[in-house]
Amino acid sequence: MKKLFDNSSYDCSKLVTKTYSTSFSMGIKLFSPKIRPAIYAIYGFVRYADEIVDTFHDYQQETLFNEFEQDYYKAYNRKISLNPILNAFQEIAHKYDLKNYVQDFLDRMRMDLDKTEYKTVEEYENYIYGSADVVGLMCLRVFVDNDEIKFQDLKGYAMRLGSAFQKVNFLRDIKQDNEDLGRSYFPNLENGELTEKSKAEIILDVENDFKEAYKGIVLLPLEGKLGVYLAYRYYLRLLQKIKRSDCKRILKGRIRISNSLKLVLLTKAILRYRLNVI
């Protein structure tokens, strides 16, 4: 039965999510069961695309990416794929009208194959839009169940949250991006170096993103509110930890949130949700 095949495809996307991100897996578990498969499918797709450009250095990355993109469009047009990640995602792309967002995302992932530096604010913001903001918009289409009025009302907030998440990732991974991947995303670095001044500017920008994004979180439908709020709290705490660290510590290695603190954040998020104070 086709249904069994589709269910197994969503299970594969769920496995990819659990394998690559315990934090996002934790957040997705707080979503309504009816929307979890769609969010797993989105994560599985973007994770695989990102993995090609960030990890497979011993292979022909451009060829692999071209094939991945071509296979996605075949899946989208045929409404089926023997690649379970693409099979699950194409169904969600059709259901929630994600086609334009997908192309924006793939275009930015392709940039990571050879673009190593973002010298202007325009380049930086353009990359963030396609690599992060559109992922937030994909998820928002699921949260509002294609309600166009709600989507337009919350669109700007979802983009600010996607931007905040991505900028925190850039700060957290700056050592790996610079040394292993040869990339520099922040346009305000001084001679390519993170200084206390440039760090403070970046953090202020991210804090403003988070402040604005929170206004949208409180307006989200119940199906997705708690999971998004947990992700927001997790990344906000990670930003606070980075803020307290000097540049030498940030450049020494990835700053993390401990599993015990993640559990504390989870407990507090659930309590605030139940008290209706999100």
> What is the chain's mean pLDDT, rounded?
95
pLDDT of residue 23: 81
User: What per-residue confidence (pLDDT) applies to 262?
Assistant: 93
- Over range 237-258, report the average pLDDT: 94
**If you count them, how many residues does the chain have?**
278
Q: What is the pLDDT of residues 199-213, one digit of tens each?
A: 999 999 999 999 999
CA–CA separation, 71 and 69 (whole Å): 5
Report residue 6's pLDDT band, with 50, 70 and 90 as the boundaries.
Answer: very high
Measure the CA–CA gap between 74 and 89, rounded to whole angstroms: 12
Tell me the pLDDT band of 191, cut-offs 50, 70 and 90. Answer: confident
The reported pLDDT for the residue numbered 12 is: 98
| pLDDT above 90 for 1 | no
Give the whole-angstrom CA distance, residue 32 versus residue 118: 38
For the segment 41-70, the average pLDDT, to the nearest whole number, is 97
What percent of the chain stands above pLDDT 90? 91
Cβ contact 234:178 at 8 Å: no
Task: Give the pLDDT confidence score for residue 167 in this predicted structure.
Answer: 98
Nearest-angstrom CA–CA distance, 89 and 13 = 9
pLDDT at 190: 80
pLDDT at 192 over 90: no
End-to-end CA distance of the chain: 43
pLDDT of residue 179: 87
Q: For the residues 9-33, what does the mean pLDDT come to?
A: 93
CA pair distance 183, 177, nearest whole angstrom: 5
Residues 6+ apart with CB under 8 A from 17: 24, 25, 28, 40, 43, 44, 47
Task: Look up residue 51 and give its two tokens.
Answer: 């993995």
Q: Is the confidence at residue 253, as pLDDT, over 90?
A: no
- pLDDT at residue 103, rounded to an integer: 97
CA-closest candidate to residue 73, choices 101, 49, 99, 39 = 99
Most confident of 21-35, 101-115, 179-193: 101-115
Cα(48)–Cα(68) distance, integer angstroms:
9
Among 156, 130, 153, CA closest to 46:
130
